[in-house]
Structure 1
Amino acid sequence: MELSWAFKIDEGLRQLGIKRETCDKDNDMKIDASAGLLLHAKHNQVTDKIKNVGSSSKEALTVDPATQFISSEPTLPTEQMRAKSDDGKLTVINYKSNGKLDLPARFEAHRELIERVANSTSTLYLHDTPAAANKVAEEYDKTSADLNVQNPELQNKNWGFSIDGSGKLIATGHLNQADKQLVEEALNGNDKLVSAAKDFKNNFLEGLEIERGSSGTSQYWGKYDVNEGNFAEIIDFKEMITQSRNNDKQREATGYLLNKREWTINIADQLKTSAEPSFTK
């Protein structure tokens, strides 16, 4: 499924925290610090497809709330970002074969920021990480069904699971040793669940690094210190699934187990609760 971004560069950059001055001869741009909260709000409402921009100059980065997860298939170089320039002409901006955006010359000075925002948003909020999350949820449902047959009392106990630095799924929370062993054997016995959890962690950590960029700081998820060593202490897959699940009607309509908006909110909550904001801008 091809992703199209409805992105008017001038208006879009404003919402990303950048404002271009009216002096066209030097195309000077500056950071608008007040725009950060707007972008954060959009992250909490992000969906998989940003609708094509119409003719109205006021319309930018509008989203379709009915749209859910999309395929995590590679999006380069077919992924396109559509931008509307100041002269009113629609400009189609493609990723080049080298993975770089083919930007208009007047935005070249801000390439690193624009590409960092586009790539981190794709990895963290739109494609790779949420697609892996949905796969984790699907495979966990299969495993939990067997677990509940083996030990129905697990449904009444407060526990979770994550993935450690060695790539093993581990049970967390209030379980005795026998229950912990039962849960971990079942979880790690599902190869697809283990693989999906690894994909989630790898994409998540990569996205955080991209978001921080050369400055090493971020206003959003990238500000939190999550790494190979502490990932299991911060991200609880079971909580993620429980708190982000679509109801039957939503799942039938979208084909996906998790609700993107609720998933985004839950991950943000887990980060706020358990991670240190060591890379705050």
Structure 2
Amino acid sequence: MNVNTIPPININGVNISTDDTKDASFGVISGAKSSAYNETNTITPQKEKEPDLKALSPDDMTVQIIGYNPKGFLAAQEKRSDEATKVLDSYIQNIVQSKNAKDQFAQVSSDIAQERPDLVNKKWDFSLNARDDIVILHNGDLTDEDVNWLQDRLQYTGLKETLAELKSSMITLVESERGYDMYSTNIGRYDISEANFDQIIHFGEFLNKTNGEDANQILTSQLAIRADDPYKNLTYEYLVVNEHLTKTKPTP
């Protein structure tokens, strides 16, 4: 790992060795002040002898770094690395699970069309709630009986389990991309969770559009339409007023 910016340092102690035993009272050892006796045999503090830093070797110095916490820095880097791993893993899982779910949904849709041809021309969609149960979405095109039938038909297929994994991966991708800083200029800006997932992601629309590889782009488009973005990183416009910078308004 390369660190481009070196934090400020202070030298808080210096060790100087001397072979001059003729006047040891004027040596400086470990940064301590030396003293000498005056005519009345009382100790008189002497002015500290300033060491020649250019003549010192690294072993002669004690260095204290101010404003830098190595443990905290490493912990933050490890956390960022873990978040990056989660983002990449979730990104790939979204692609894999989307392909699986699309194949399963194609078969289920074919079965529904054969069993209930009256539903073919009705507009409806579906999602998963916080308990990973199927939720039917519609604009009044379906009767209560239609809703119950579709829920039962979709609930007890392998599709629901695949979608539950996809849902978890989608949420992880968004949260991990946001990072511990809790802001993002990308997909992490959007607020999606177990609680509001079924209000944002419409799986019928998603699976009809995706080819798997574009799963994350379609996820982003649905988030942009239906999700709030409280985690976006705001930038600000500035004006120079009386030779001072003045912040005017945030820009998305």
Bucket of the pairwise TM-score, normalised by the shorter protein: 0.5 to 0.7
Provide the aligned C-alpha RMSD in A.
2.3
Summarize deviations over 1:186-238 as a string: whole Å, max 9, x none.
Answer: 10020x11111110111121222222221112221111110111100100111
Partner of 1:181: 148
Partner Cα separation in structure 2 for residue 146 and residue 279 of structure 1: 41
The amino acid that maps onto 2:128 is: I
Equivalent residue for 1:233, pick from 199, 209, 227: 199
Partner of 2:232: 280
SS of 1:121's equivalent? helix
Partner of 1:211: 177
Pair 1:121–1:220, CA change in 2 (3 A): farther
Partner of 1:167: 132
Partner Cα separation in structure 1 for residue 176 and residue 111 of structure 2: 38
Identity of aligned residues (%): 21
Preserved CA contact (<8 Å) 2:124 2:136 = yes
Aligned counterparts, 1:1-281, within 5 A = 26-28=3-5, 110-123=77-90, 125=91, 127-174=92-139, 175-190=142-157, 192-244=158-210, 258-261=211-214, 263-281=215-233
SS of 2:132's equivalent? coil
Deviation at 1:116, TM superposition (A): 2.5
Pair 1:259–1:196, CA change in 2 (3 A): closer
SS of 2:127's equivalent? strand
Preserved CA contact (<8 Å) 2:200 2:223 = yes
Partner Cα separation in structure 2 for residue 208 and residue 220 of structure 1: 9
SS of 2:184's equivalent? coil
Deviation at 1:184, TM superposition (A): 0.8
Please tell me whether Structure 1 or Structure 2 has the larger radius of gyration of its CA atoms: 2
Alignment gaps of 5+ in structure 1 = 1-8, 10-23, 30-106, 245-257
Partner Cα separation in structure 1 for residue 175 and residue 222 of structure 2: 18
User: Given the two structures, how large is their TM-score scaled by the length of structure 1?
Assistant: 0.53
Deviation at 1:108, TM superposition (A): 9.6
Preserved CA contact (<8 Å) 2:129 2:195 = yes
Partner Cα separation in structure 2 for residue 142 and residue 183 of structure 1: 14
Matched positions, count: 164
User: Given the two structures, how large is their TM-score scaled by the length of structure 2?
Assistant: 0.59
Preserved CA contact (<8 Å) 2:190 2:223 = yes
Partner Cα separation in structure 2 for residue 280 and residue 187 of structure 1: 35
Tell me which protein shows more strand as a share of its residues: 2
Partner Cα separation in structure 2 for residue 215 and residue 153 of structure 1: 50
Deviation at 1:120, TM superposition (A): 0.7
Deviation at 1:111, TM superposition (A): 4.8
Preserved CA contact (<8 Å) 2:127 2:136 = yes
Deviation at 1:156, TM superposition (A): 1.3
Pair 1:134–1:27, CA change in 2 (3 A): same
The amino acid that maps onto 1:266 is: I
The amino acid that maps onto 1:156 is: N
Alignment gaps of 5+ in structure 2 = 7-73, 234-252
Summarize deviations over 1:151-203 as a string: whole Å, max 9, x none.
Answer: 1132212111100112111111132212111111110020x111111101111
Partner Cα separation in structure 1 for residue 95 and residue 134 of structure 2: 19
